Structure 1
Amino acid sequence: MTIKDLELRRATEHDADAAAELYLSSFAAALPTVRLAHSPEEVRGWFRHVVVPQLETWVARTPEGEPAGLLVLDGGSLEQLYLAPHWRGRGLGDRLVELAKSLRPAGLELWTFQVNGPAQRFYQRHGFVEAERTDGSRNEEREPDLRYVWTPPVA
Structure 2
Amino acid sequence: MDGIGIRRARAEDAGAVAEVWLRSFAAALPSVRRAHGDDAVREWFARVVVVHRETWVALADGEVVGLLVLGERELEQLYLDPAWRGRGLGERLVELAKQRRPDGLELWTFQVNGPARRFYERHGFTAVEHTDGRGNEEREPDVRYAWRPGG
TM-score (norm 1): 0.95
When the two chains are superposed, the root-mean-square deviation of aligned CA atoms in Å is: 0.8
What residue identity is the alignment partner of 1:112? Answer: T
* 1:54 equivalent in alignment to 2:52: yes
**Matches of residues 102-113 of structure 1 in structure 2 within 5 Å?**
102-113=99-110
Which residue number corresponds to residue 68 of structure 2? Answer: 71
**CA distance in 1 between partners of 2:54 and 2:17 (Å):** 13
Which residue number corresponds to residue 43 of structure 2? Answer: 45
CA deviation after TM superposition for structure 1 residue 68, in Å: 1.0
**CA distance in 2 between partners of 1:8 and 1:83 (Å):** 13
**Structure 2 gaps, min length 5:** none
* 1:5 equivalent in alignment to 2:3: yes
Which residue number corresponds to residue 25 of structure 2? Answer: 27
What residue identity is the alignment partner of 2:149? Answer: P
Q: 2:16 aligns with which of 2, 15, 18?
A: 18
CA deviation after TM superposition for structure 1 residue 22, in Å: 0.4
**CA distance in 1 between partners of 2:50 and 2:64 (Å):** 14
* 1:141 equivalent in alignment to 2:134: no
Runs of 4+, deviation exceeding 3 Å: none
**CA distance in 1 between partners of 2:52 and 2:15 (Å):** 15
Which residue number corresponds to residue 147 of structure 2? Answer: 150
**CA distance in 1 between partners of 2:50 and 2:86 (Å):** 26
**CA distance in 1 between partners of 2:122 and 2:60 (Å):** 26
**CA distance in 1 between partners of 2:134 and 2:24 (Å):** 23
**CA distance in 2 between partners of 1:127 and 1:15 (Å):** 30
TM-score (norm 2): 0.98
What residue identity is the alignment partner of 1:56? Answer: E
Aligned residues: 151
Which residue number corresponds to residue 90 of structure 1? Answer: 87
1:44-97 Cα distance to aligned partner (Å, 9 max, x none)? 00001110011100001112x221110000111000000000000000000000
How many percent of aligned residue pairs carry the same amino acid?
Answer: 64
What residue identity is the alignment partner of 2:72? Answer: G
**CA distance in 2 between partners of 1:6 and 1:52 (Å):** 20
What residue identity is the alignment partner of 1:15? Answer: D
